[in-house]
Amino acid sequence: MKKRDVILIITASIILGFSIQRPEGIYNLLINSLKALIIILVNIVAKDITAYYFDGELELDLFSKKIEKKNIDRKKKKNIQIIPLGIILPPFLSIWSNWNITWLAPLTFDVKRTPFQSSRRHGLDKYYDISEYHIGLTAAAGIIANIILGVLLYNLNYPNIAKLSIYFAMFNMIPFFGLDGEKILFGSKIIWKITTAITVIAVLATLI
């Protein structure tokens, strides 16, 4: 795992640790951040293993919005401003709603083909690029991993972190903004429907 990815994971964990529950001191913040870290790591490890199977490499990034500003002089490069919504949205929504609403999708990802990796184990004799289908399967692996984690934690009598893991999966299943749901939908509508159905059932189970 790259140093940049480690920094992003720790940052996202602290942001979510602050956002999921009103902090009642440093200890409480650390506990919530640790819960978020476990959930994020399970998601990323599942994606990383799937990406590796497809001879790809996982690249993490903050959930962000790119704003392109047009220049009067067409010869100049376009000015692109990146707003790090993954850092801004969770605490903003939590504070604004008095910790009744938060945003649980601080990170996005992409999969790049690992340089000089052969694809012979996939039945091909030449190099190939990572397709939207491969990226969709990688995203789905992360979602399913979080739901499985939630089920396991429920059975181990840890309902709070179990719900958090399932809600994390639910937020990332949103089919917009470059989140996992969008990647799954673009990769395969059938897989998106199946993953969505599993996620909805898991969310409904937390309400019983």
Q: Is residue 19 part of a domain?
A: no
Would you say the pTM of this structure is higher than 0.95? no
- pLDDT at residue 118, as a whole number: 47
Residue 75 identity: K
- pLDDT at residue 75, as a whole number: 54
Q: Is residue 202 part of a domain?
A: yes
Residues with Cβ within 8 Å of residue 57, at least 6 apart in sequence: 51, 111, 112, 113, 114
Q: Is residue 178 part of a domain?
A: yes
Question: How would residue 24 be classed by pLDDT, with cut points 50, 70 and 90?
Answer: confident
Other C-beta atoms closer than 10 Å to the C-beta of 19 total 24
- pLDDT at residue 115, as a whole number: 61
Q: Is residue 195 part of a domain?
A: yes
- pLDDT at residue 125, as a whole number: 46
Q: Is residue 42 part of a domain?
A: yes
Query: Across-strand partners of 108?
Result: 61
Quote the domain boundaries for residue 166. 31-85+109-206
Q: What average pLDDT does range 71-81 have in this prediction? A: 58
In this predicted model, what pLDDT tens digit does every residue of 85-134 receive, in sequence order?
A: 889 999 999 999 999 988 999 999 999 887 655 444 555 545 567 889 99
Domain count, the chain: 1
Mean of per-residue pLDDT scores for the chain: 87
Query: Across-strand partners of 61?
Result: 108
Q: Is residue 126 part of a domain?
A: yes
Q: Is residue 102 part of a domain?
A: no
In this predicted model, what pLDDT tens digit does every residue of 174-194 receive, in sequence order?
A: 988 889 999 999 999 999 999
